[in-house]
Chain A
Amino acid sequence: MTMILADADIQSIWLTVRLASVVTVALLILGTPIAWWLARTRSRLKGVLGAVVALPLVLPPSVLGFYLLLAMGPDGPVGQLTRVLGIGALPFTFRGLVVASIFYSLPFMVQPLQNAFESIGERPLEVAATLGASPLDAFFTVALPLARPGFLTASILTFAHTVGEFGVVLMIGGNIPGVSRVASVQIYDHVEALEYAQAHRMAAVMLIFSFIVLLALYVWRPGTMKTTRKD
């Protein structure tokens, strides 16, 4: 790899992978209850929350980034909260980038999970309840295992989408090597500096990565896996 890519390139790729991993794990924890609620509720707020979750799909990343920057700024509500908590300012830090990416990739985690939970239906959970399982017990022993293909799809999509983000990163993180200069920003820098050879190599890495991810998603269907996991 070092033969092909410069150290700065590798640093940006490593940062990207680290960011995407942290965001995927964080969204698994945050997105699962949201998806579960959306899949099961009959509340009128379902439509509102569903629309909020889907916003990043249609919003220009710069718009999302702009509002997040304001919110995280010293006068913004998030900024004031983080100052009180002693975390410090979030913009132009890796932490800020994680927070912004969580919002940006939210629908890619929540929507596949919501679909997976909805497709399970009520019946398996009702059966579990009549067999003595509490709602939480039934969630972990029935709903989660049955939604496993949805979790795989959601994780892959979230990871890949975070790897590909650009606009939000520039707005929130800027372009600081090792902190916020992710692969997509690095490619942009190469092009700006007319370093087309380096840009080509980085772009090829990104292209191959994206293709492999999608290939995995389309060819290796998690739903058809043999599932005989122990209770």
Chain B
Amino acid sequence: MKLSLNVRKSFADFTLSAGFTVDGDRVGVFGVSGSGKSTLVSMLAGLLEPDSGEIVLDGECLFSSAAGINLRPEQRRIAMVFQQHCLFPHLNVRNNLLYGFRRCPAEYRTIDFDTLTGVLKLDGLLERSVTNLSGGEKQRVALGRAILANPRLLLMDEPLSALDDSLRFQIIPYLRSVSEQFGIPYLFISHSLVEMRLMTDSALVFEKGTLTGQVSSEQLARDRMGQSQAGYINLLKLGSPTAISGMSAYPWGASRLLLSAGTERETSMAELSSKDIILFKQHPEAISARNLLECTVRSLFCSGRKTGVELECAGNTLIAEVVQDAVDELGITPGSTIYAAIKASAFRLLPG
């Protein structure tokens, strides 16, 4: 997907002015609320007309104030998943799913109904009324409805913000399937750095109606580490756990991590904040933290008042954060060996 956009839109107390060209299938739009993200996607979808400018998607002009072009939303083949599920309450799950499919010209129908319901695990829900679904099920139906419209671009406007934390991570694999299994490029709008990293490769950063950066999602998370209360969130891929003295031992690369969280949930991912990693210059003889990893410092980076330390541990990467004084005291330089201590309770298992 190649999207070129140069638009301006003014409201009484807010002006959005953005110009960029982005090439990629998993693009993020990042910014705090009120930064203009939703205005941007509304203009892309054709729900809001820019005051001036141009929008070109894959060579086709969707809007041009100079040429007097403004394709209607139904002519753009850009589907949307909204914050709220916005399902049609008068239609059951099947007919909600088929709403866009029936209106999609036959030549564009590459995704069929049965494949979709299989991937999104909607088979058992098809005849149900949408008012009787759980929050996660509703969002899956909304996602399926948008995918089945066989769009050339899918806009996801903070689709996880209305869901609670555990549900968010259950839905993410389904959202990723849009690109991975159905080959539809998407624009993912969010104010969450973790969601950005999980869902996108690159991100457009908006602040107060202006585009302030266009970086990789990984870079964005590192840049924001110093000012984020949660720090940088390391996402760890874990193997199958075994129980050891009241804790769970998870294989992690060539190493093993002890987590105090139970093993009852099927999981493969855990979160670990950069703030929860303590660095030692030498091997501490005895510490209460249950995980002590020997690491090699790969690089250092500045983020606000903090310094990020990229560590290589047992074939994996970890980001820890320290203050500059600690960097000097510990003599942390790229290539040096260092010990990272992590409490067993510092990890948070992600469902799904």
With both chains docked as a complex, state the minimum distance between the C-beta of B63 and any C-beta of chain A, in angstroms. 15
Would you call B146 an interface residue if the criterion is a C-beta within 8 Å of the partner chain's C-beta atoms?
yes
Would you call A142 an interface residue if the criterion is a C-beta within 8 Å of the partner chain's C-beta atoms?
yes
Let me know if B145 and A130 touch, CB within 8 A.
no
What is the interface of chain B mostly: helix, strand, loop, or mixed?
A: mixed
With both chains docked as a complex, state the minimum distance between the C-beta of A147 and any C-beta of chain B, in angstroms. 10
Let me know if A131 and B92 touch, CB within 8 A.
no
Would you call A2 an interface residue if the criterion is a C-beta within 8 Å of the partner chain's C-beta atoms?
no
Would you call A124 an interface residue if the criterion is a C-beta within 8 Å of the partner chain's C-beta atoms?
yes
Distance, CA A123 to CA B86, complexed state (A): 7
What is the interface of chain A mostly: helix, strand, loop, or mixed?
A: helix
In the bound complex, residues from chain A placing their C-beta under 8 Å from that of B237 are none
Let me know if B74 and A227 touch, CB within 8 A.
no
Given that A132-B100, A132-B104, A231-B102 are contacting pairs, would A127 and B91 also be in contact in the complex, using a CB cutoff of 8 Å? no
Cβ-closest chain A residue relative to B130: A228
B91-103 interface mask toward A, CB cutoff 8 Å, 1 = contact, 0 = none? 1100100111011
In the bound complex, residues from chain B placing their C-beta under 8 Å from that of A124 are 86, 88
Would you call A56 an interface residue if the criterion is a C-beta within 8 Å of the partner chain's C-beta atoms?
no
Number of residues of chain B lying within 8 A (CB) of chain A: 29
Let me know if B74 and A133 touch, CB within 8 A.
yes
Distance, CA A132 to CA B129, complexed state (A): 23
Interface size class of chain A, counting residues whose CB lies under 8 Å from the partner chain: 20 to 34
Cβ-neighbour of A227 out of B45, B72, B82, B89 (below 8 A) = B89
Cβ-neighbour of B149 out of A123, A126, A132 (below 8 A) = A132
Would you call A229 an interface residue if the criterion is a C-beta within 8 Å of the partner chain's C-beta atoms?
yes
In the bound complex, residues from chain B placing their C-beta under 8 Å from that of A148 are 90
Would you call B79 an interface residue if the criterion is a C-beta within 8 Å of the partner chain's C-beta atoms?
yes
Would you call B28 an interface residue if the criterion is a C-beta within 8 Å of the partner chain's C-beta atoms?
no
Cβ-closest chain A residue relative to B150: A132
Distance, CA A128 to CA B88, complexed state (A): 9
In the bound complex, residues from chain A placing their C-beta under 8 Å from that of B146 are 130-131
Would you call B47 an interface residue if the criterion is a C-beta within 8 Å of the partner chain's C-beta atoms?
yes
With both chains docked as a complex, state the minimum distance between the C-beta of B167 and any C-beta of chain A, in angstroms. 21
Extra 14 A-B pairs, beta carbons < 8 Å, given A130-B80, A142-B88: A124-B88, A127-B86, A130-B45, A132-B103, A132-B149, A133-B74, A134-B72, A145-B88, A145-B90, A146-B88, A146-B90, A148-B90, A230-B95, A231-B91
